[in-house]
Amino acid sequence: MRPKNLEKEQAIRTIALQIIAEEGLENLTMQKLAKAANISPRTIYIKYENKEDLLIKLFIEEVLGAYEKAVLENFDPNADFAEGVKKLWLNGFHYLKNNRHAFALIQYGKSSPLLNKAYQEKNIKEGDFFAPIHQFLEYNIAAGVIKDFPHEVLRALLFSPIIELVNEYFDYMDRPKQIITEEILLACCEVVTKGILK
Amino acid sequence: MRPKNLEKEQAIRTIALQIIAEEGLENLTMQKLAKAANISPRTIYIKYENKEDLLIKLFIEEVLGAYEKAVLENFDPNADFAEGVKKLWLNGFHYLKNNRHAFALIQYGKSSPLLNKAYQEKNIKEGDFFAPIHQFLEYNIAAGVIKDFPHEVLRALLFSPIIELVNEYFDYMDRPKQIITEEILLACCEVVTKGILK
DNA sequence: TTTATAAGTAAATAAACATTTACTTATATT
DNA sequence: AATATAAGTAAATGTTTATTTACTTATAAA
């Protein structure tokens, strides 16, 4: 039996992300993707059931999976609160800054009903992305270190500025603006940390 | 001469927003829109040059224009800093909570290259949305009330949690979850305010 | 080496798409 | 009341779309 060519599978995913980032999800077509990846449209259907299946797997596995891994790299849920938040901030910011195509699809994950639904269902069925962060927050609430808000609220206060700052890092022609220096990033991290300390 | 029917124009916009919120921007078609609005496809082209023109005007005029107006309602750039931030938070949160369809397109504005580019170009050519907020920040930096960060950074720290909290307000089946009470909202607003006070 | 089989291709298909054509209608002006 | 004209409609246009059909190819196992 002829074996699957894994390079082709990776090419499909990489180039799909590129098209989505550059032209938008609404302009990704199977034929455009096949042509750009130098394969036949039929090949995509060997690896994915249909277009929706491709988009969902791209989002959940390729993008969110890698993002979660990068954010949690060397993160210790039992570390000091400020240290933990700092690690998560730096990991998250640098990953998104260096993976602009993944960042674009993450943004679509908040807009597109298809992707948004897939994300919610995955979290319900297979357990939350970022579970160690929940554990981290839980412990610090119980220990009286931080304010006792619902986790969703804590996560909004602690982490939502990161996405905005990454957005700010690039201007609309995708050239780096360099407003967001390491110094500013760390200062922002301190601001959000202080805000929810008791 | 037969006059333009403004109700039809409004129907196009309202129903376009509804389809985008419910099925996604990538599933909005001119024929679907015409059918849902009970008009001929040709009628859309009397009012808009083409699909891109429709989307951009929907986003910039209908959605961002109304959002800006709602956020700035009764906002005084010369008010006390904490008071000003509170007003902006409550205005923003309540508008988005009560205008779910507009909220969906605002999210797409951060994903879609078409909408994102239109937004940036509008801000450059015709002056920023939310200019009074810039004035407000400028004054409070100069007065030494808040930290001297770039405006983009201040806005990320002060306002980006709002969008996340509105998202949290609805679950993925669009039923209100009611986690975000008025009490929590005000507490969050205080947290972000304190964080950037000097 | 042969062979079975899934991987892969090029081209086709039917449906859906944005936009236009050819026509009808409503009304402000005359 | 007649008429000029833009607003509006229904149906058609040519193109693009997701997906499939009919075929070829590479290789693991025999």
Residue of A nearest to B118 (CA): A172
Per-residue pLDDT of chain A (198 residues; tens, 9 = 90+): 778 899 999 999 999 999 999 999 999 999 999 999 999 999 999 999 999 999 999 999 999 999 999 999 999 999 999 999 999 999 999 999 999 999 999 999 999 999 999 999 999 999 889 999 999 999 999 999 999 999 999 999 999 999 999 998 876 555 566 678 999 999 999 999 999 999
Q: Nearest residue to C26, CA vs C1'?
A: B2
A10 CA – C4 C1', rounded, Å = 28
- Domains for chain A: give ranges and CATH numbers: 1-47 (1.10.10.60), 56-196 (1.10.357.10)
Q: Nearest residue to C28, CA vs C1'?
A: B1
Per residue in A27-66, pLDDT (tens digit) is 999 999 999 999 999 999 999 999 999 999 999 999 999 9
According to the model, what pLDDT value does residue A174 have?
59
Per-residue pLDDT of chain B (198 residues; tens, 9 = 90+): 788 899 999 999 999 999 999 999 999 999 999 999 999 999 999 999 999 999 999 999 999 999 999 999 999 999 999 999 999 999 999 999 999 999 999 999 999 999 999 999 999 999 899 999 999 999 999 999 999 999 999 999 999 999 999 998 876 555 566 688 999 999 999 999 999 998
Is residue B116 within 8 angstroms of chain A, CB to CB?
Answer: yes
B46 CA – C20 C1', rounded, Å = 12
Please indicate whether, in this complex, the C-beta atoms of A110 and B113 are within 8 angstroms of each other.
Answer: no
Sign of the torsion formed by the C-alpha atoms of B123, B127, B130 and B136: positive
Residue ranges of alpha helices (H) inside chain A are 6-23, 30-36, 41-47, 51-57, 66-72, 81-98, 100-111, 113-126, 131-142, 151-169, 182-196
**Neighbouring residues of B165: CB distance < 8 A, sequence distance ≥ 6:** A153, A156, B93, B180, B185, B188
According to the model, what pLDDT value does residue A177 have?
66
Which residues on chain A are in Cβ contact (under 8 Å) with B112?
24-26, 111
